Amino acid sequence: MAINAKDLLQKLRKNKERFVKSYEALLKAYEKKVIEYQVKYGDYTQKVIRKQLKGEDEREPSAPMRPEDRTKDYDLYIEMLEKHGSLTIELSETLFKRLWKDRWDWTRGYVNLLNAYSGEGFGLEEMALDYSAIVE
């Protein structure tokens, strides 16, 4: 599929901008979850030390998952397009999904992480919906 290189570059920059905005909000939610985890883990270890655990109800808390920064994925293709000399560029189906549709191999996992942290505010609910529309 042949696509106008300038249009693709503009689209890719817009997609990167959306990712950066959502990633920054997700990091804030992650930091909040880390603080909550530290408190829960401290309480848990005190119960272990005092031998106050009550069977299966007292499981070790799970550490929150750190979001992965994917801006370099965008940067690589942006740089390649900036150096591309032709007016159009030929894209495979896979590259079309990534670069035009913003549907990367990691997108579904990213949506799941946005949904997992949605209750923390920071506009994550809207961002999760926005990204979910890409995946479907």
* pLDDT digits 0-9 by tens, 80-97: 999 998 999 999 999 999
Which of 31, 17, 3 has the alpha carbon at shortest distance from 122?
31
Q: Please indicate, yes or no, if residue 123 is contained in any of the structural domains.
A: yes
Number of domains in the chain: 1
Q: Please indicate, yes or no, if residue 112 is contained in any of the structural domains.
A: yes
Tell me the pLDDT of the chain averaged across its residues. Answer: 93
| 21 contact partners, CB below 8 Å, separation of at least 6 | 127
Q: Mean per-residue pLDDT for 41-60?
A: 86
Q: Please indicate, yes or no, if residue 85 is contained in any of the structural domains.
A: yes
Q: Which structural domain, as residue segments, surrounds residue 9? A: 2-35+69-135
Task: Kindly list the distances between the CA atom of residue 71 and the CA atoms of 55, 59, 76, 127, in Å, as whole numbers in the listed order.
Answer: 44, 36, 9, 16
Backbone angles phi, psi at 101, to 5 degrees: -85, -15
Give the pLDDT band of residue 56 (cuts 50, 70, 90): low
Give the per-residue pLDDT at 133: 86
Q: Please indicate, yes or no, if residue 64 is contained in any of the structural domains.
A: no
Q: Mean per-residue pLDDT for 115-136?
A: 87
Q: Please indicate, yes or no, if residue 50 is contained in any of the structural domains.
A: no
Give the pLDDT band of residue 46 (cuts 50, 70, 90): very high
Which segments of the chain are extended strands (E)?
2-4, 88-90
